[in-house]
């Protein structure tokens, strides 16, 4: 039962639907942009070229060197490209890595961003930025980095390989799960988290024909992430991804069932929502089973973690405070990570 809560909606303008990328030029015009820099990863240069042609005379240049976790040197190179192009805005077209780079340009020199997500990571819905320097990822919240417009075009996700679709979708689910037990959650966010999680859980097993449903779910889960304080799961993934260079979505996929199992006894309201979503009494086990059915990684070892270094993860997580329904002791964290490392079911 909710007694008292605060709720603040972030400003978000969304254009959703297959083919909506075609309206990119009109969206740039609506924002008054004249010289737009297109951002992408090296794997998505064809898509960047399509965005450039849709922008027509407003296209001022393309920087297709976005990389995971926004290394500071990549952000710096993008700033030089923006300056050389005389850019007054940018289009970030791609996954969380590309949108993260757009956010770096929104911070400095302050360019407005149009985000066109092609994965389910959800960064486009959040005011959270991240930059990685000397192997450490710094993150912060700043309303200035929230994209001014978001175009969700499910037809851009049909090329997303099934394996990335699944891990990226579970990354989005993690936002919903932690939003449900966040200290600053609200009934409105709980509705969004439930609807987002239900869409993704329904879409992932039949992803080829459910791209629109998955992207809709990712939008809602991303919006929950953008409005709440994340807990132990995101903290662990931040350390594992940022300091041990493990792939972002895969880390989320491996860790989430374990943290959900650990937090479940202290988060009954979240568990009852997730019981409805999974149609199962034990959502953590259902999630672990779902990942297995979809051939997603279930062990940290399988995605490159050195088991001898798990103690360093525990130390880093224990060193900085974070919100969580339960306060784990170092031994509990070590046990959780050991199970995740070995691919054991959540306990």
| H-helix or E-strand spanning residue 79 | helix 72-85
Tokens of 230: 């994340």
Closest to ligand NAD by CB, 96 vs 257, is 96
248 binds ligand NAD, rule: CB under 6 A? yes
CB 78 within 8 A of CB 39: yes
The correct pick among 28, 37, 59, 98 for binding ligand NAD (CB under 6 A) is: 98
The correct pick among 84, 133, 142, 159 for binding ligand NAD (CB under 6 A) is: 159
102 binds ligand NAD, rule: CB under 6 A? no
332 binds ligand NAD, rule: CB under 6 A? no
176 binds ligand NAD, rule: CB under 6 A? no
Closest to ligand NAD by CB, 123 vs 185, is 123
CB of 63 to ligand NAD, least distance (A): 14
157 binds ligand NAD, rule: CB under 6 A? yes
68 binds ligand NAD, rule: CB under 6 A? yes
**273-312 binders of ligand NAD (CB under 6 A):** none
DSSP-assigned states of every residue in 40-76 = --GGGHHHHHHHHHHHGGGEEEEE----TT-BHHHHH
Stretch that binds ligand NAD, among 123-131, 213-221, 293-301, 321-329 (CB under 6 A): 123-131
What whole-number distance in Å separates Cα of residue 298 and Cα of residue 292?
7
Strands (E), the chain: 14-16, 36-39, 59-63, 89-94, 113-117, 128-133, 136-141, 149-152
- Residue 244's contacts (CB-CB under 8 Å, 6 or more residues apart) are 305, 306, 309, 313
CB 96 within 8 A of CB 137: no
119 binds ligand NAD, rule: CB under 6 A? yes
94 binds ligand NAD, rule: CB under 6 A? yes
Strand duo 136-141 + 128-133: pairing: antiparallel
The correct pick among 102, 130, 154, 283 for binding ligand NAD (CB under 6 A) is: 130
Tokens of 7: 């709720």
Q: Which residues pair with 125 in a beta bridge?
A: none
What whole-number distance in Å separates Cα of residue 291 and Cα of residue 308?
25
Closest to ligand NAD by CB, 170 vs 271, is 170
Closest to ligand NAD by CB, 10 vs 80, is 10
165 binds ligand NAD, rule: CB under 6 A? no
CB of 5 to ligand NAD, least distance (A): 22
**Cα 172 versus chain centre, distance:** 6
CB of 139 to ligand NAD, least distance (A): 7
Q: Provide the binding-site residues for ligand NAD, judged by CB under 6 A.
A: 41, 43-44, 68-69, 94-98, 100, 118-119, 121-123, 126, 128, 130, 156-157, 159-160, 164, 168, 171, 225, 248-249
């Amino acid at each position: 039962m909710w007694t008292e809560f605060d709720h603040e909606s972030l400003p978000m303008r969304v254009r959703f639907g297959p083919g909506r990328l075609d309206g990119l030029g009109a969206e740039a015009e609506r924002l008054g942009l004249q010289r737009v820099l297109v951002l992408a990863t090296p794997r998505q240069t064809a898509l960047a070229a399509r965005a450039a042609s849709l922008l027509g005379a407003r296209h001022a240049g393309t920087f297709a060197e976005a990389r995971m976790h926004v290394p500071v040197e990549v952000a710096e190179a993008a700033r030089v490209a923006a300056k050389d192009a005389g850019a007054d805005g940018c289009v970030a077209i791609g996954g969380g890595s590309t949108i993260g780079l757009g956010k770096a340009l929104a911070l400095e020199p302050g360019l407005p961003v149009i985000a066109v997500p092609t994965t389910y990571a959800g960064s486009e819905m959040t005011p959270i930025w991240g930059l990685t320097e000397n192997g450490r990822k710094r993150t912060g919240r700043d309303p200035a980095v929230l994209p001014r417009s978001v175009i969700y075009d499910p037809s851009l996700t049909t090329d997303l390989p099934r394996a990335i679709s699944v891990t990226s979708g579970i990354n989005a689910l993690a936002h919903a799960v932690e939003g449900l037990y966040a200290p600053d959650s609200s009934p409105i966010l709980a509705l969004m988290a439930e609807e987002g999680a239900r869409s993704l859980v329904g879409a992932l097993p039949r992803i080829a024909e459910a791209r629109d449903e998955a992207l809709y779910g990712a939008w809602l889960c991303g919006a929950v992430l953008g409005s709440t304080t994340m807990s132990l799961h995101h903290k662990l993934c931040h350390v594992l991804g940022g300091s041990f260079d493990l792939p972002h979505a895969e880390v989320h996929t491996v860790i989430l069932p374990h943290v959900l199992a650990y937090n479940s006894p202290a988060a009954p309201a979240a568990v009852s929502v997730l019981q409805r979503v999974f149609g199962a009494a034990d959502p953590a086990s259902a999630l672990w089973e779902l990942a297995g059915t979809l051939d997603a990684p279930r062990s940290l070892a399988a995605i490159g973690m050195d088991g001898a270094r798990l103690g360093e993860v525990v130390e880093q997580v224990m060193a900085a405070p974070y919100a969580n329904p339960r306060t784990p002791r170092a031994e509990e964290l070590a046990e959780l990570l050991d199970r995740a490392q070995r691919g054991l079911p959540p306990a």
